[in-house]
Chains A and B, each alone.
Chain A
Amino acid sequence: MAQMNLLEAIRQGMDEEMEHDPRVFITGEDVGPRGGVFRVTQGLFEKYGPTRIIDSPLAELSIVGVGIGAALADLRPICEIQFADFIHPAMNQIMNEAARMYYRSGGTWTVPMVIRAPYGGGVGGGLYHSQSVEAFFAHTPGLKVIIPSTPYDAKGLIKSAIRDPNPVLFFETKKGYRLIKGDVPEGEYTVPIGEARVAREGSDLTVYSYGMMAHYAMQAAERVSQTDGIEAEVVDLRTLLPLDTKTVLESFKKTGKALIVHEDNLTMGFGAEIAAILASDGFEYMDAPIQRLCAPDIPGVPFSHPMQDYFMLNPTKIADAIRDLAAY
């Protein structure tokens, strides 16, 4: 089995789907000869040429809007938004058009497209190269929202996303692109959309997370196991919409304590939904107040290092929160 990093796994998944289906194409800023600013599409231009790897104008609205049109015309676009922070000009197209097309056409017009965007902070990106935007989309029926945290899941989920007949937002932790490595099998496999994964078994409490924070949660869980003998279960949500409430509740039933971790800011973040589900459907299993460990409610990740570090979560902060909750 090959070891690869997160971005290589995403690239391999897209490459396999492009080989398998001539309707699949990639468009976005600098995705062509440059191979994307993070190099996720590196080598694909050389392999598939300018008719399938298409450098777009510098305009996110139409990267998505043209993708919607192509999807309506039965192609399978993969639209890359260079940074999740730049997705906002395309909000109208995503929210009003892609998300609502199937419903508003009485189930006749479908939008089978993937919108990929690197998200998240901790890379010196300041307010506009660090955002976590998943909550906006997870609030929107008609969309699917995926955030993988391992290369295995990233490849399997990007393939499922490309094959899905609905618009899928696929957020990639840019900090984890090269940092996160793992085994990825050669050849065909997929990971189903809408299924969370118990990344680590434990009995004392459950950490719910996704993306880069799921990766950190695993490190934190290993640490507290060694130092404190606390066994935390880690649930990697993988898909936020549709959410796997069954796995979420099963773990809570087992541990009775929940720590929800995301690097998006706290208020109205995705963790609020998890907390609400646990409170309403898991009340009788609850042994402690549901905890959320999230970024502060400020408008973005500041640039200067000490402020960035203050904003960002890390395995140490997560480990501290695990200890506090375990002690309750």
Chain B
Amino acid sequence: MAKNTTDKVRNGRATPTSRPSDSLTKDTLLEMYWKMLLSRRVDERAWMIHRQGKIVFHISAIGQEAIQVAAAYTIHLGVDYIVPYYRDLALVLCAGVTPEDFMISLYGKEGELSSLARQMPSHFGAKPFNIVSTSAPVATQVVHAAGMAFAIKYRIQNELQDPNDRTQPRLAVTSLGEGSTSQGEWHEAMNWAGVHQLPFICIVQNNHYAISVPVDKQMAVPNVADRAAAYGVEGIIVDGNDVLACYDVMHYAVQKAYRGDGPTLIEAKTYRMTPHSSDDDDRTYRERSEVDAWRDKDPLLRLANHLKAQGLLTDAVIEGYDKRARKIVDEAQRAAEERPYPPGESAIAPVYAEAN
């Protein structure tokens, strides 16, 4: 049953001697590093082309890639329901969205994947990968994730789905920032997840700021995870900049959901290394020294250092990755720039789905 921030799994250390991340192969570890790096480079390019006046808006995932990649490597991608928020670039890139898809969304070009370019960039969604379309009012998506997790339980209870059928969605995972947990939406979704003990994972990417408002003006308790107990949901805190710790807690929550043992809230403590968006100036509300201190805890840097210490990664390999990423991002940007805009009149439809 539900527990509050269990010490047993806090920071992913189920026991000191055995962590799920210990069984990750070298290839998988390097692949996770590559995904984090690719997301970072795509993201950095978005900032650059915004400064060049080529695009009108960007909202960033920089600094928050670890928990996102950990989530992607623990769920069944393309099958389980993903209900993301606007900072989940690394997650959606792992799930099947390509750098070119993202670039097309930045430019608002024809055939854009998530919304046919109706939505601003980073309002992710991709039906082929079971990534639900998301909006801008925060925390609305968490209720949908609860509803999708409810649908899984419903299908199992009403014998429309075999609980062991791995071709079917077996959990819904959603994410949001800590500021968004002030919304009634989040509380009501957590309540449903708790009442029905749903296969639901809520990842709170606590990046310390809701635009300019710090955590202590958002809530009176130190941790979002502390609130989980009130809903009968297990709450776990993890170092959100340690991808392996994130992997461990995600692995725990995913396996629990698959077993039908209920929902989990994971609070990944991380940091928004950029302004809120391309329209924000974070110098107006936080010290540079604070931002600089977090640069040393950059999840990409930390994983690189860890892998180097294990003898799994070298500077030469990193250089190769960077070169490869630059080529992918260059090509993605070029493809997006060469692509036509959608015709204005394509705005008109479709508004309603036709009956089958």
Contact = CB atoms under 8 A, between A and B. Distances in A.
B123 A104 contact: yes
Interface stretch (A95-103, A145-153, A232-240): A95-103
Contacts of A93: 140, 143, 185
Nearest to A108: B127
B191 A59 contact: yes
B133 A62 contact: no
Interface stretch (A31-39, A160-168, A253-261, A316-324): A160-168
B151 A107 contact: no
Given A73-B81, A102-B353, A65 B147 contact: yes
Interface residues of B, number: 47
> Which among B155, B192, B350 has the greatest number of chain A C-beta atoms within 10 A?
B192
Given A92-B137, A106-B115, A165 B147 contact: no
Interface in A262-312: none
A315 interface: no
B17 interface: no
A22 interface: yes
B160 A66 contact: no
Contact of A96 (B140, B147, B158, B188): B140
A226 B189 CA distance: 57
A: contact size bracket: 35 or more
A69 interface: yes
Contact of A25 (B123, B154, B195): B154
A97 B158 contact: no
Interface string B71-83: 0000000000101
Nearest to A66: B147
A106 B184 contact: no
B125 A109 contact: yes
21 contacts: A52-B158, A57-B188, A57-B191, A61-B188, A65-B140, A65-B144, A67-B147, A70-B154, A72-B132, A73-B147, A73-B152, A73-B172, A104-B115, A105-B115, A105-B125, A108-B127, A109-B133, A141-B351, A142-B351, A165-B355, A166-B352
9 residue pairs, one from A and one from B, having the closest CB atoms: A69-B147, A65-B143, A73-B151, A106-B116, A62-B188, A105-B133, A108-B127, A66-B147, A69-B144
Interface of B: 81, 83, 112, 114-116, 118-119, 123, 125, 127, 132-133, 135, 137, 140, 143-152, 154-155, 157-158, 160, 169, 172, 184-185, 188-189, 191-192, 195, 350-356
Interface of A: 22-23, 25, 51-52, 57, 59, 61-62, 65-75, 77, 89, 92-93, 96-97, 100-110, 112, 141-142, 144, 163-166
